Amino acid sequence: MKAFLASAADKTLHLLAPSAKIDPRKTRVAFIANPSDLYTKEKWWVEADRKKFQELGYSVTELDLRKSTKASLVGELEPFDIIHVCGGNVLYFISLLQEKDMVDVIRNAVVKSGKIYTGTSAGSMILAPSVELEKYSSESMPEIVGKLKNFKGLNLVDFLIVPHSENPDFIPDTTEYIKHMHEQTIPLLFVYDSQAVWVEDDVMKILNK
């Protein structure tokens, strides 16, 4: 299993190719922006991820999971080398995956088919065993929490990324995670916007731009 978990991928994506030993010019990216579905204003962070992939030479194709089914997604992911999930609302994206029964599709694509998983912010957080701490964040919405079957993430890593740890705009959320971290046993990994986490099988390391 290979995963590149960024706080802000547009600032660290250049570290992916040397870590994964890939040629961006020969690498196809399935670009999933659904965590940002609930935002109506300009989604600058999504555009920043897309632009950075393209600047580095990757071939980028957007997939909208709202238009996919569990069965169709298996085939839709097949041509790609990387599955990238953007930032946005963690609990909304989990609810979407649960509603469409797609959790195992993405897990299998990464674990069994060898796709590299990359994520920004929320897209990195969802790899944890649980994202329950997110219910205390400013992004949490009662109507979304009420739809969740549970707070399980993709369970591809054994820790929870806390992104934007040095960013003043995110101090209230980071404080809430710390305040409630005793309610669960999953280690928290605080990641700056200038950092990413590279996971390859059982080895994990922090990358700095």
Q: Could you report the per-residue pLDDT of 166-201, keeping only the tens digit for each?
A: 999 998 889 989 999 999 899 999 999 999 999 999
pTM metric for this prediction = 0.95
How much is the average pLDDT of 158-165? 96
Q: What is the pLDDT of residue 138?
A: 82
| DSSP-assigned letters across all residues of 73-124 | HHHHHTT-SEEEE--S-HHHHHHHHHHTT-HHHHHHHHHTS-PEEEEETHHH
The Cα 191–Cα 13 span in angstroms is 14
Report whether pLDDT(209) > 80: no
The Cα 164–Cα 185 span in angstroms is 21
Q: What is the pLDDT of residue 103?
A: 97
Q: Which helix (H) or strand (E) holds 51?
A: helix 44-55
Find out if CATH 3.40.47.40 is the number for domain 2-208. Answer: no
